[in-house]
Structure 1
Amino acid sequence: MMKHIVIIPCAGTGSRFNAPIAKQYLPLLDKTVLDWTLQTFINLKMINEIYVICQRDDSYIDDYISRYPNVNFLRLGGITRTETVRNALEHIELEDNDWVLVHDAARCCIDHRDVEQLLIQLKNHEIGGILASKATDTLKQVDADGNIVKTIDRTVIYQAQTPQMFRSHILMSGLDYCREKNITITDEASAVEALGSKVSVVESLYSNPKITYPDDLLFAASILASRL
């Protein structure tokens, strides 16, 4: 039976946030960033398994292990996000057509309705796709000196988010290919695109920011508070 597996890379240090602990463990309202992220997926009936991938020496994760007995915590974090995801795929028992959803731990505002739409719209897709939002700002392309070269048509621009959902064998093939060709990627979709595969976009209808800087934590708190 085909499964839906969630992988949450949790091995980053969040250097841009400039906090004493990794941003996924920071308090946010009455929980932590990672708590909010986990609880969205735990409450989705279509999700079969959840894996959090952390560093081997991560001491903060012990608290979560005790509080989330139905979540799998693996100390397989790599130097990069890509390596972390690849390590997880090698470890988890998967069939070729199982779905793998990779989600940023720091996207704690992910709404269950967006995830459900991703699952529904891609269920018969051969490759997979990502959650993304339409660009709303006017976008400018600039040269090396910071001068505007042209205005980009924002109607064809989407901002990539997570989850990013792919058939397990497709995602692994993409990651392997990029490693062999020394291609630098910033998300899973980039790896699959490198294979020449067409990746679908499912529009996100709810705020799903990634916490990167301190002000983002305040923004996330306001979003989550409005949903309570």
Structure 2
Amino acid sequence: MTEQFIAVVPAAGVGARMGANIPKQYLPLHNKTVIEHTLVALLSHPRISKVVVALGSEDGWFTDLDIANDPAIIRVDGGKERADSVLAGLQACHSYQWVLVHDAARPCLTHVDIDNLIIAALDSEHGAILGSQVRDTMKRTDAQGHIIATVERELLWHALTPQMFPVKLLTDALTTGLAGNADITDEASAIELLGLTPKMVVGRADNIKITRPEDMPLAQLFLQQLTQKNNHECNGEDK
């Protein structure tokens, strides 16, 4: 039998940079909310059998969504920081060996990217993450905003999600990092703090994270394109 996996979606944040009166994951986008697109992308993948959603203690929106009643959804209380929410979600993953962690505000995820991530992660004992290579010239500035160096971009990547790791390894890494007050910006950074080297997997650049208001129309465009492509494939138009 093909191994099944579980995903954790930390969704306890409020997304202050969006300037909206509700958390960004509940903003309307292409006939659904942002988080609904995210969860559908995960749950519709044949190798993901459960999704754990870590919600804020005062979340009053998730229960109103139709997808909240999906039996494959597990809800847990999130924490103050992303790492706290992911760690809380991992407590519901004890019967799985591997976990995928994905941002609630990345609704443009494709099954092809999930497939490629799974293949790479299973071939690496330290896990793997999706990423996109840096294309622009990179500059480093001082605290006053003056350019002090041009950074070589050849081996630089934008870290994306999902990120996939063994459940026990990620649990240990996050627990250790939080105990040491480490700066854990994503799951891979916690693994790196243990001296380990997750693998980078080339992902689609349109797997954007909605952070600012200008990201919404871009995500709308990408979702429309993905929907059209899927419809063409289902109708046998792409041979």
Superposition TM-score, scaled by structure 2 size: 0.89
Match of 2:10 in 1: 9
User: In the TM superposition, what is the alpha-carbon distance from 1:73 to its structure 2 partner?
Assistant: 3.4
Instruction: Write the mapping of 1:49-198 to structure 2, written as runs, cut at 5 A.
Output: 49-64=50-65, 68-95=69-96, 98-198=97-197
Distance 2:60 2:205 in 1: 33
Does the aligned pair in 2 maintain the 1:139–1:153 contact within 8 Å? yes
Does the aligned pair in 2 maintain the 1:99–1:168 contact within 8 Å? yes
Residue identity opposite 2:26 in structure 1? Y
Distance 1:202 1:160 in 2: 10
Local SS of the residue matching 1:156: coil
- CA 1:91 to 1:24, structure 2 compared with 1: closer, same or farther past 3 Å? same
Residue identity opposite 1:144 in structure 2? A
1:8-27 residue CA offsets vs partner (Å, 9 max, x unmatched): 01111111111111111111
User: In the TM superposition, what is the alpha-carbon distance from 1:61 to its structure 2 partner?
Assistant: 1.1
Residue identity opposite 1:167 in structure 2? P
Residue identity opposite 1:182 in structure 2? N
Residue identity opposite 2:49 in structure 1? N
Matched residue pairs, number? Answer: 226
Does the aligned pair in 2 maintain the 1:171–1:191 contact within 8 Å? yes
Distance 2:62 2:199 in 1: 33
Q: List gaps (5 residues or longer) in structure 2.
A: 228-239
Distance 2:21 2:142 in 1: 36
Local SS of the residue matching 1:218: helix
Local SS of the residue matching 1:155: coil
Match of 1:213 in 2: 212
Q: List gaps (5 residues or longer) in structure 1.
A: none
Select between 66-75 and 48-57 the one with higher mean Cα deviation. 66-75
1:195-215 residue CA offsets vs partner (Å, 9 max, x unmatched): 001111001135111000111
Distance 1:56 1:142 in 2: 38
Superposition TM-score, scaled by structure 1 size: 0.93
1:90-133 residue CA offsets vs partner (Å, 9 max, x unmatched): 243235xx111110000011111111110122223211011000
Residue identity opposite 2:86 in structure 1? V
1:43-65 residue CA offsets vs partner (Å, 9 max, x unmatched): 11111211111123322111236
Select between 212-221 and 64-73 the one with higher mean Cα deviation. 64-73
Match of 2:30 in 1: 29
Local SS of the residue matching 2:48: coil
Distance 1:220 1:60 in 2: 21
User: In the TM superposition, what is the alpha-carbon distance from 1:71 to its structure 2 partner?
Assistant: 2.9
Percent identity over the alignment? Answer: 38
Distance 2:9 2:67 in 1: 18
Distance 1:30 1:117 in 2: 28
Distance 2:38 2:110 in 1: 9
User: In the TM superposition, what is the alpha-carbon distance from 1:30 to its structure 2 partner?
Assistant: 1.0
Residue identity opposite 1:61 in structure 2? F
Does the aligned pair in 2 maintain the 1:34–1:105 contact within 8 Å? yes
- CA 1:78 to 1:67, structure 2 compared with 1: closer, same or farther past 3 Å? closer
Q: RMSD across aligned C-alpha pairs, in angstroms?
A: 1.6
Distance 2:220 2:204 in 1: 18
- CA 1:143 to 1:56, structure 2 compared with 1: closer, same or farther past 3 Å? closer
User: In the TM superposition, what is the alpha-carbon distance from 1:34 to its structure 2 partner?
Assistant: 0.9
Local SS of the residue matching 1:171: helix
Residue identity opposite 1:78 in structure 2? G
Select between 194-203 and 137-146 the one with higher mean Cα deviation. 137-146
Residue identity opposite 1:21 in structure 2? I
